[in-house]
Amino acid sequence: HELLPPAGGTGLEDAIVCAAPLHNINCPHGVVLMGRGGRLHISSVRAPPRAASATRYDVAWPMTKMGLRATGHYVCHLPLAKAIVVAISVAELLPDTAPQPKNPNAPNAKADNVAVAALEGAPRYQERYELRLLDETTWATLDTYPLGEQEWVTALQLMTLQREMPNPNAPNPATLPAHLRNLPMSAERIRKPTPLLVVGTAVVLGEDSNCTGRLLLLDIDSVLEGGAGKGGGEAGEGEGEGDADEGSMRMVRRFRVAVDHEERGPILSVAQMQGKLQVGVGAKLVTFIYREDALVTFAFYIAGFGVSALATLRNYVFAGDVHQGAQLLTWKEDKQSLVLVSRHLRTTSAFACDFLLHEGTLHLVLAEAGPAGSRPTLRLLNYSRQAEESRRGTILLPRASFHVGAPITRLQRVAVGGAGAGGTGAGGARRQAVLWAAADGSIGFVVPLGETAFRRLGFLATKMVGGLRHDGALHPRAWRALGTSATSARELKNMLDGGLIGRFLELGADEQRRLAMQIGSTPAKVAEALTELARGLP
């Protein structure tokens, strides 16, 4: 249920007019692309890793799969180490419940004389979690890190933390004058940005024991090891697999535990804020700093029932609760604490959250599921001190609601191309979008629109709802409004259905002309708006 954005694409700025396959010894499995400006581009398709199956191109996105023989939970790309970390779990049979072989020579006893304790029960299984380190090119397994018994991986993210170290050039307080010894010395410590893999776990031992957790800060080290077997192969292939020359030494990548920190509550979510580590530990939001070789508690905030999702932007923290909606917090450097700015009043279960910037306006994207009977909803919130209904900014205002159909498990803000040069929007600002993934395997985007494009496409969606035939006679807007508990009709209209308006490009010329005339436009303008909307998306 974790999302790893694809790194593919042609990287072309102009639109592709036509394409043709090209396959020879110099460019195997290539393609010739003609851009709108008359430029000819030749690209080649990357061969799939040896451990993976052949890449499928008959789907919406090219897909390459590899069997893990386990259940995957999280995945993270490490660009500096050129590796991929996957959190998996394998069902193991408990030894005390394994079926025992029967003794054929034992006498048959009556059923009423057999003790209940001696009856064979159904075998029981438990999930055993571990981290696997894969090479990003060959997908070969480089190293594994097993977790403890009944320890579940609940968070996995790559972060750059500010590591505080003693400054060797700092003055010795004993050599300073008496009136300067008690003053705070900012030069006593230095901060070094350190990229680390942050892993959060939860240990569930039953109802009679408190749930605990661990924070692991892992690094990837290259160590010199010897191997046995035949050498050769691609880079990264066989690291730890034992295919090096006998007696030879080679550099292999391995996990290294930088910090192993235990907590009294489960680690539900992690995030990075200005070099500090924000962690959702049960109902608390704890701020850690990475000092030398340990994590030091810097501040904490009682957030609610359970901090299930976290997102940060500069000194702002957007926290989603498993039962009490969402809260917007800010970090006060002078007070060294988190301060509540605004909250969402609805009682919902937050699955994921993130920020979205558009033309200088800060939007908050929340994936939630409301009380019993509600459906998974993608909700857009706004923070505004000028609106009367916000009570001077203490309440987050719902601006849009959209029924997705499946629980969203991941939100990630990405930069996409736009109307300006180099993918920039109005004022030269980089255009952003939120990429989401749901539990049923679906992937989608939340892309902000300008006022002109939103009005044109909004009118088009209204005409397409009543002017086209729909599968099963289902109403598209009624489906997207199902279970959202929207407070106004405008809240349902502020987010357009891309699947609905995207059908415009599949219609015939006469049907496109009829719909475009109804909104006072032309098919060319509508097609250009749809093309500009999708430009820059992976």
What is residue 107's predicted lDDT score, i.e. its pLDDT? 56
What is residue 180's predicted lDDT score, i.e. its pLDDT? 60
What is residue 3's predicted lDDT score, i.e. its pLDDT? 40
Largest CA distance in the chain: 93
Q: Is residue 343 part of a domain?
A: yes
Alpha helices in 422-537 (DSSP H): 451-467, 476-480, 489-493, 498-501, 509-518, 523-534
Helix axes 509-518, 451-467, angle to 10 degrees: 120
3-state SS class at 161: strand
What's 145's DSSP letter? E
Asked if residue 280 and residue 145 are part of one domain, the reply reads yes
Distance CA 90, CA 144 (A): 13
Distance CA 220, CA 255 (A): 5
Asked if residue 86 and residue 25 are part of one domain, the reply reads no
Asked if residue 150 and residue 231 are part of one domain, the reply reads yes
Q: Is residue 108 part of a domain?
A: no
Task: Give 1-48 pLDDT, tens digit per residue.
Answer: 334 444 445 556 667 888 898 888 888 878 898 887 788 888 887 778
Which of 274, 302, 330 represents a domain boundary (last residue)? Answer: 302
What is residue 420's predicted lDDT score, i.e. its pLDDT? 45
**Which residue ranges in the chain fall short of pLDDT 70?**
1-14, 97-121, 170-176, 178-187, 227-247, 370-374, 417-429, 536, 538
Q: How far is CA 133 from the centre of its chain?
A: 18
Asked if residue 377 and residue 419 are part of one domain, the reply reads yes
Torsions phi, psi for 411 (to 5 deg) = -125, 135
3-state SS class at 420: coil
Q: Is residue 537 part of a domain?
A: yes
Q: Is residue 54 part of a domain?
A: no
Q: Which tokens hold the place of 196?
A: 């680390």
Asked if residue 519 and residue 442 are part of one domain, the reply reads no
Assess contact for 436 and 442: CB atoms under 8 A. Answer: no
Q: Which tokens hold the place of 261?
A: 């920190």
3-state SS class at 71: strand
What is residue 483's predicted lDDT score, i.e. its pLDDT? 84
Reported as half-sphere exposure (CB side, CA atoms, 13 A), residue 415 has a value of 6
Torsions phi, psi for 438 (to 5 deg) = -110, 170
What is residue 156's predicted lDDT score, i.e. its pLDDT? 97
Asked if residue 458 and residue 316 are part of one domain, the reply reads no
Distance CA 134, CA 136 (A): 6
Asked if residue 467 and residue 525 are part of one domain, the reply reads yes
Q: Is residue 105 part of a domain?
A: no
Assess contact for 362 and 393: CB atoms under 8 A. Answer: no
What is residue 233's predicted lDDT score, i.e. its pLDDT? 44
Range of the domain at 234: 68-94+125-165+189-302
Q: Is residue 326 part of a domain?
A: yes
Assess contact for 248 and 288: CB atoms under 8 A. Answer: no
Asked if residue 285 and residue 158 are part of one domain, the reply reads yes
The torsion of the CA quartet 127, 139, 11, 63, rounded to 10 degrees, works out to -60
Task: Give 67-87 pLDDT, tens digit per residue.
Answer: 999 999 999 999 999 999 999
Asked if residue 280 and residue 147 are part of one domain, the reply reads yes
Asked if residue 266 and residue 151 are part of one domain, the reply reads yes
Asked if residue 421 and residue 297 are part of one domain, the reply reads no
Assess contact for 136 and 84: CB atoms under 8 A. Answer: yes
Which of 278, 302, 326 represents a domain boundary (last residue)? Answer: 302
Residue type, 355: F
Which of 277, 302, 327 represents a domain boundary (last residue)? Answer: 302
* Domain total of the chain: 4
Helix axes 509-518, 523-534, angle to 10 degrees: 90
Asked if residue 375 and residue 259 are part of one domain, the reply reads no
What is residue 418's predicted lDDT score, i.e. its pLDDT? 56
Tracing tokens 């990229």 back to the chain, one arrives at 195
What's 108's DSSP letter? P
Q: Is residue 511 part of a domain?
A: yes
The CATH number of the domain holding residue 231 is 2.130.10.10
Bridge pairing between strands 397-403 and 337-343: unpaired
Of the candidates 396, 401, 411, 357, the one whose C-alpha atom is nearest the C-alpha of residue 377 is 401
What is residue 1's predicted lDDT score, i.e. its pLDDT? 35
Q: Is residue 404 part of a domain?
A: yes
Distance CA 156, CA 85 (A): 9
Assess contact for 198 and 159: CB atoms under 8 A. Answer: yes
